[in-house]
Amino acid sequence: MKLTGAEIFVECLKREGVDIIFGYPGGAVLPIYDEIFKKNYFRHILVRHEQAALHAANGYARVSGKCGVALVTSGPGATNAVTGLADSYMDSIPTVCFSGQVPTHMIGNDAFQEADTVGITRSATKHNFLVKHVEDLALTIRQAFHIATTGRPGPVLIDIPKDVGIASCEFRYPETVNMRSYKPVTKGHHGQIKRAIKMMLASRRPIFYTGGGINSARGSAELLTRLARKLNFPVTQTLMGLGGVPCDDKHFLGMLGMHGTYEANMAVSHCDLLIAIGARFDDRVTGKIEAFAPEAKIIHVDVDPSSISKNVHAHLPIVGDVKVVLGQMLDALKTANTKPNAEALKVWWHQIEEWRARDCLHFDQDMDGSIKPQFVISKLHELTKGDAIIATEVGQHQMWAAQHYGFKKPHRWITSGGLGTMGFGLPAAIGAQIAEPKATVIDIAGDASIQMSIQELSTAMQHKLPVIVAIINNSYMGMVRQWQEMFYESRYSHSYCDSLPDFVKLAEAYGGKGLRAEKPGDVETVIKQALANRDTFTVIDFVVTKEENVYPMVPAGAGLSEMVLA
């Protein structure tokens, strides 16, 4: 059967199981948009800026476990998408982005709305393609989804010239994909697993250090929790790994790294075995490399061989998918003839409990004073029973959310970790709400960040999404201000946001509900009102203490044990 490129596009996406696309039309993608209109197979979410389409696809992917899909036009559409692609690339989120391109015969002529999209996005994607012949389209789409969702996931871009959407050819759907140059390893090497178990059982001060890989591999979180409980080993997680083990499990020590807990950073600094699972030893995690887990042997499980021994040498590398490897470890444990060293673990746990007793995240809320940001987050946890999907922008509020929200399950925490993109949270929350229409979805935002994607309130309104935007409003770019206070003698160079809009009126102008809390006593009331509103989005303006700092903090370049506690 002969199909046009645009028809092939719709047909292939349907077969990939795509039911949601986030996009924004323009000249070069009109043939595709026309086909989307005619076929009406999937839901198209019209965003207000192409960057938001990619962030929404990212949020959607993290919550649904499916591949996020975005569609943008050529030139400015594609360049607007770059930040969103780079963000998904850094955080390894599976997305496929389709961009329109000028007709093939005009490529390279500085044609209207032409950009070298493949060139520009090469280093912001896992892979990208330019489809020059309609005959190649189906296979390319098939390969793109395969690449985006397997191995270390990531964004893939397909650039489709306008004439390729119009031209037609015999449609043949490739039922399977087999790329000789791309074959990710999923199963851990048997001998290495055995050695890992041996090291684990022999260790006296072990710790699991787990990351985004656990949130990425569906079903792995339960295995991790089971393994940690069975061995009675402590677990710390990166910002990307939160939710991997329930926050109220006693084995969980909280996040590690720059704004990690005292107990997690001290345990890592003193452990004799660090078992890294789906984490990439980011500099926000390690602090000064030489002082990171100085006494430990390191086991590193990662699907991407280039993550292993990149920053920190791994004594025992295991290339494989975390879910498969955790399963292999649990199996190997069943047949192992030794047990964990209970005596040593008792001493280790005793030490950990001493560190934990410092209660490093403690804060005092004076009910007659100004609202503390930490208080807002704790109340959000309490009133949603820790069951909401939380997205964030970037800054102090993001760190407080990570420290104080407390996740009971994986796939409920959507934050921009690697790129740290302000403006990420609202569109990501929109994507999450689309994936789980019934869930409570909250974007914990800063007053500066929220303005980078504020136009997406319009998207939330159009698609009737009850997203809650909780603005922790300190009138500052708080994270920048904190660094200026600590490292630049309080010279607050351009970090104060004068002339902030009235967020309540702004919410109303976009058609949603706007609420404000100015006193600690208001916090619970407005949160309850927001949770009750399922008809529109709600923006809550929490007017908080202006110069609160995030602690603990490991100053950049210092070792993890050199934390500043308050």
The residues assigned a catalytic role are 50, 112-113, 162, 479
Q: Which does 446 bind (CB under 5 to 8 A by kind): ligand TPP, ligand FAD, other proteins, none?
A: ligand TPP
Does 118 sit near other proteins (CB under 8 A)?
yes
Helices of type H across 336-464: 342-356, 373-384, 396-404, 425-435, 456-462
Residues in the chain: 566
Least Cβ distance, residue 362 to ligand FAD (angstroms): 18
Structure tokens at 142: 């098939």
Structure tokens at 4: 């046009």
Structure tokens at 532: 């009750």
Q: Which does 284 bind (CB under 5 to 8 A by kind): ligand FAD, ligand TPP, other proteins, none?
A: ligand FAD
Q: Note whether 281 and 272 are within 8 A (CB).
A: no
Does 304 sit near other proteins (CB under 8 A)?
yes
Cβ distance to ligand TPP smaller for residue 243 or 395: 395
Cβ distance to other proteins smaller for residue 62 or 126: 126
Does 289 sit near other proteins (CB under 8 A)?
no
Cβ distance to other proteins smaller for residue 40 or 123: 123
Does 127 sit near other proteins (CB under 8 A)?
yes
Does 306 sit near other proteins (CB under 8 A)?
yes
Least Cβ distance, residue 264 to ligand FAD (angstroms): 9
Does 162 sit near other proteins (CB under 8 A)?
no
Strand partners, 44: 21
- Which amino acid would we find at residue 116? D
Q: Which does 280 bind (CB under 5 to 8 A by kind): ligand TPP, ligand FAD, other proteins, none?
A: ligand FAD
Q: Which residues bind ligand FAD (CB under 6 A)?
A: 91-92, 152, 211-213, 216-217, 238-241, 255-260, 278-280, 282, 284-285, 302-304, 307, 321-322, 394, 398-399, 417-418, 420, 479
- Sequence-separated (6 or more) residues with CB below 8 Å from residue 66: 17, 18, 60, 435
Least Cβ distance, residue 216 to ligand FAD (angstroms): 4
Question: Of 452, 418, 163, 379, nearest to 280 (Cα)?
Answer: 418
Helices of type H across 91-128: 117-121
Phi and psi at residue 546, in whole multiples of 5°?
-70, -40
Does 173 sit near other proteins (CB under 8 A)?
no
Question: Of 259, 309, 319, 267, nearest to 284 (Cα)?
Answer: 259
CA 376 vs CA 293, 383, 444, 445: distances in Å? 34, 10, 10, 12
Rounded distance, CA 156 to CA 298, Å?
32
Q: Which does 217 bind (CB under 5 to 8 A by kind): ligand TPP, other proteins, ligand FAD, none?
A: ligand FAD
Q: Which does 97 bind (CB under 5 to 8 A by kind): other proteins, ligand TPP, ligand FAD, none?
A: none
What Rg do the C-alpha atoms of the chain give, in angstroms? 24
Does 182 sit near other proteins (CB under 8 A)?
yes
Does 412 sit near other proteins (CB under 8 A)?
no
DSSP 339: -
Structure tokens at 536: 């529109």
Does 194 sit near other proteins (CB under 8 A)?
no
The window from 22-30, 122-130, 488-496, 523-531 that contacts other proteins (CB under 8 A) reads: 122-130
Does 305 sit near other proteins (CB under 8 A)?
yes
Q: Which does 147 bind (CB under 5 to 8 A by kind): ligand TPP, ligand FAD, other proteins, none?
A: other proteins
Least Cβ distance, residue 64 to other proteins (angstroms): 25
Phi and psi at residue 499, in whole multiples of 5°?
55, 40
Q: Which residues bind ligand TPP (CB under 6 A)?
A: 393-397, 420-422, 446-449, 472, 474, 476-480
Does 1 sit near other proteins (CB under 8 A)?
no
CA 535 vs CA 233, 463, 514: distances in Å? 45, 10, 13
For residue 524, the surrounding DSSP H or E stretch is: helix 520-532
Q: How far is CA 375 from the centre of its chain?
A: 24
Question: Of 57, 28, 35, nearest to 145 (Cα)?
Answer: 57
Q: Which does 435 bind (CB under 5 to 8 A by kind): ligand TPP, ligand FAD, other proteins, none?
A: none
Q: Which does 127 bind (CB under 5 to 8 A by kind): ligand FAD, ligand TPP, other proteins, none?
A: other proteins
Q: Which residues bind other proteins (CB under 8 A)?
A: 118-119, 122-123, 126-127, 130, 147, 178-182, 304-306, 309-310
